[in-house]
Amino acid sequence: MAEVVLFRNRDLPGYTGSLADYERQEGYAALRLMFKQYPPAELIELVKRANLRGRGGAGFPTGMKWSFLPKERTVTYLCCNADESEPGTFKDRELMTVDPHQMIEGIVIASYAIGAHAAYIYMRGEFASEAVIVARAVQEAYKAGYLGKNILGSGFDLELTLHRGAGAYICGEETALLESIEGKRGLPRSKPPFPATHGLYGKPTVINNVETLASLPHILRRGAEWYASIGSPPKSPGTRIFSVSGHVKRPGNYEVPMGITFRQLIFDLAGGMKSDRPLKAFIPGGASASFFTPDHLDVKMDFDEVAKAGSMLGSGGVTVMDDSVCMVWAAANLLRFFHHESCGKCTPCREGSNWLLRVLRRIEHGQGRLTDLDLLPQVCGNIAGRTVCAFGDAETAPVVSTLRHFRAEYEAHITRKECVMGHARPPVDAATAHPISFAGH
């Protein structure tokens, strides 16, 4: 398999991720090179030439995002998005724990490029042990002069703060993240204005994902042309870490060049199907991405090819399901998550997620009606594109795509009360669609 970049230290015997270990593997060499050779404007050009695209979900070109900052500005902030709450996605978690200094070096590089003297790592609240590891690494970096005043004698100052969330999925959305750092309830902001002009505390701000930032030291050390030539050039260069979970023999994080196929990832790297049951469906890019079927196994894993095939690479979480999984159950399970996590700001998402869940549950439990199969897409149509943030689109993806690919399964639930998962489904309450468990309980 091709070269590993971001995880190159992960499997070194005895590698602990300490500053000393990182430095032994050329850690912070990119930073020294940067201060010697690159004025900020040239650094932005370098990242543009490398065509690095954001690894947080949308795949937005990083250099272009940086150049949206207004020319005249007094204060600029950088936020590293380490919220990673998308179900099935666990790559940032491993990046931060295995090699925290790689992310910190990336943060210093990005801050220097955009002229930020204050940066934040916004970390998912549930990451308790990860927070300890990152906090320790930040302290080490301060002590060694990679953070703080006059970094490596360059005259550049940067204060880096680790800010922990409190367990809300929505705080991974960039503007909800900003609200949360400001000490407010994490609700997304209406855009425009965009964070590039009105971000943290109303000042120009860049928000980048952990993996995006961790890629920067490599691009600096090895050059834009090298990066632009690996993976799936010209539009999706570089390597990417995919988190593979579900019914595979070897679940885990795999760093691969962009552009390999889902078949290679699932069958060659992740060992194929656990228990050797046939593949039924997979989610190609986190819970917000539309389901794929075995017909999509040869789709290339690059941003544009996956979009062309009707889904998205999103957060890089690939969840694999064999034929024991009921697709109505899978959609309802995801909607349970989205309904629980809807922040409530926008009516279509707040109310719609509740209705989607109720209708899915009654179908799942054998109490659905055939008209529900028209009702579901209608409700989805009233959510997607009608909310302040992309959460609304995300919550409709499992419903629309399972209906598209597995309509017969929905019909079997409604007309014949059949489910591939076989086990008896207790009836649900007609009004709430909550399962009625035992009488009197």
Ligand X SMILES: Cc1cc2nc3c(=O)[nH]c(=O)nc-3n(C[C@H](O)[C@H](O)[C@H](O)COP(=O)(O)O)c2cc1C
Which residues of the shown chain bind ligand X in the complex (CB under 6 A)? Answer: 54-58, 60, 65, 81, 83-86, 170, 172-174, 207-209, 212, 389-391
Residue closer to ligand X by CB (options 170, 376) is 170
The CA R_g of the chain, rounded to the nearest whole Å, is: 23
Residue closer to ligand X by CB (options 391, 410) is 391
Q: How far is the CB of 355 from ligand X (least distance, A)?
A: 19
Residue closer to ligand X by CB (options 93, 413) is 93
Of how many residues is the chain composed?
A: 441
Residue closer to ligand X by CB (options 57, 199) is 57
Q: How far is the CB of 421 from ligand X (least distance, A)?
A: 29
Residue closer to ligand X by CB (options 121, 414) is 121
**Which are the contacts of 107, defined by CB distance < 8 A and separation ≥ 6?**
78, 80, 119, 121, 158, 160, 213
- The CA distance from 434 to 85, in Å, is 25
Residue closer to ligand X by CB (options 68, 250) is 68
Q: How far is the CB of 254 from ligand X (least distance, A)?
A: 19
**Which are the contacts of 72, defined by CB distance < 8 A and separation ≥ 6?**
none
Residue closer to ligand X by CB (options 86, 140) is 86
Q: How far is the CB of 147 from ligand X (least distance, A)?
A: 21
Helices (H) and strands (E) in the chain, counts: 17, 10
Please name which of 178, 198, 188 lies closest in space to residue 120, comparing C-alpha atoms: 178
Q: How far is the CB of 165 from ligand X (least distance, A)?
A: 9
Q: How far is the CB of 86 from ligand X (least distance, A)?
A: 6
- The count of other CB atoms within 10 Å of the CB of residue 155 is 9
Q: How far is the CB of 303 from ligand X (least distance, A)?
A: 11
- The count of other CB atoms within 10 Å of the CB of residue 3 is 9
**Do 312 and 285 form a contact (C-beta atoms < 8 A)?**
yes
Q: How far is the CB of 31 from ligand X (least distance, A)?
A: 19
Residue closer to ligand X by CB (options 65, 101) is 65
Q: How far is the CB of 417 from ligand X (least distance, A)?
A: 35
Please name which of 342, 128, 93 lies closest in space to residue 209, comparing C-alpha atoms: 93
Please name which of 221, 18, 6, 163 lies closest in space to residue 95, comparing C-alpha atoms: 6
Residue closer to ligand X by CB (options 326, 380) is 380
String of b and e for 52-75 (b: at least 16 CB within 10 Å)?
bbbbbbbbebbbebbbebeeeeee
Question: Pairing between strand 159-164 and 118-123?
Answer: parallel
Residue closer to ligand X by CB (options 83, 105) is 83
Q: How far is the CB of 335 from ligand X (least distance, A)?
A: 15
- The CA distance from 108 to 256, in Å, is 25
Q: How far is the CB of 64 from ligand X (least distance, A)?
A: 10
DSSP per-residue codes, 247-309: SBSS-EEEEEETT-BHHIIIIIIS-SBGGGPPEEEEESSSTTSPPB-GGGTTSB-SHHHHHHT
**Which are the contacts of 103, defined by CB distance < 8 A and separation ≥ 6?**
80, 82, 95, 96, 121, 134, 210, 213, 214
If residue 118 lies in a helix (H) or strand (E), which one and from where to where? strand 118-123
Which tokens is 151 given? 């970094």
- List the Cα angle 50/54/57 in 5-degree steps: 150
Residue closer to ligand X by CB (options 19, 46) is 46
